[in-house]
Chains A and B, each alone.
Chain A
Amino acid sequence: DQQVKQNSPSLSVQEGRISILNCDYTNSMFDYFLWYKKYPAEGPTFLISISSIKDKNEDGRFTVFLNKSAKHLSLHIVPSQPGDSAVYFCAASAEWPDSGSARQLTFGSGTQLTVLP
């Protein structure tokens, strides 16, 4: 049972245009969401996050939108650049049962973004 779903395994976008990556979740206990970017032969790197008390968070070319009622979040990249070509993972966080420290992280299966020059 996938609690975090990225239904598009791949996305191709022209350089300079907007890239929109989508993520859906089912667990209403998730209250913090993150996006990671992964290049081949490297580990995922943190990109941007959003708390459930917000509906938008922006950092330069990257904006994450959260629609709690729809249990949906999206990552917008504007303008897209060839260097953005990577796999993007959505992750959701909830309090870890019986733990006062680190929180549980659940990842989606990733979307391969290709930005065409």
Chain B
Amino acid sequence: SAVISQKPSRDICQRGTSLTIQCQVDSQVTMMFWYRQQPGQSLTLIATANQGSEATYESGFVIDKFPISRPNLTFSTLTVSNMSPEDSSIYLCSVRGAVLNTEAFFGQGTRLTVV
């Protein structure tokens, strides 16, 4: 298993501002994943962050809105840029376990409210 520390745990932000979420893993991992969970919705993958290369974004998500950094094998950041109330969600970082590289371990999440 992996221990993932994510911060901040929650924040209330003004529209038009940006928030950077940090994710620290206790072991080196090749791929880190960023998810969004909107109220009452499923976890939706935003992007995959690989160390040493640009993040790969899923359909509906773009780098300008959600820039990601991955400076080393244990750390990543996700920025939510130019926020609007529609960005109010829980944001989660995740890494995968060894079993079929599928089992996901999650940080505790960042609950973002945009006012």
Chain A residues engaging chain B, CB cutoff 8 angstroms: 2, 4, 9, 32, 34, 36, 41-46, 49, 89, 91, 93, 101-103, 105-110
Contact = CB atoms under 8 A, between A and B. Distances in A.
Contacts, number: 65
Interface stretch (B37-45, B63-71, B76-84): B37-45
Nearest to A103: B102
Contacts of B41: 109
A74 to B, nearest CB: 18
Interface in B28-54: 30-31, 33, 40-45, 48
B104 interface: yes
Given A102-B102, A103-B101, A109 B42 contact: yes
A109 B40 contact: yes
Given A41-B109, A43-B4, A89 B43 contact: yes
Nearest to A87: B37
Interface of B: 4, 6, 9, 30-31, 33, 40-45, 48, 92, 94, 96-97, 99-109, 111
A45 B3 CA distance: 11
Contacts of B48: 102
A20 B31 CA distance: 34
B45 A41 contact: no
B100 A42 contact: no
B107 A43 contact: yes
A105 B42 contact: no
Contacts of B99: 49
A109 B41 CA distance: 5
26 contacts: A2-B42, A4-B42, A9-B40, A41-B9, A41-B109, A43-B92, A43-B108, A43-B109, A44-B104, A44-B106, A46-B103, A46-B104, A46-B105, A49-B102, A49-B103, A89-B42, A91-B104, A101-B101, A102-B48, A102-B96, A102-B101, A103-B100, A103-B102, A107-B44, A109-B40, A110-B42
A105 B6 CA distance: 21
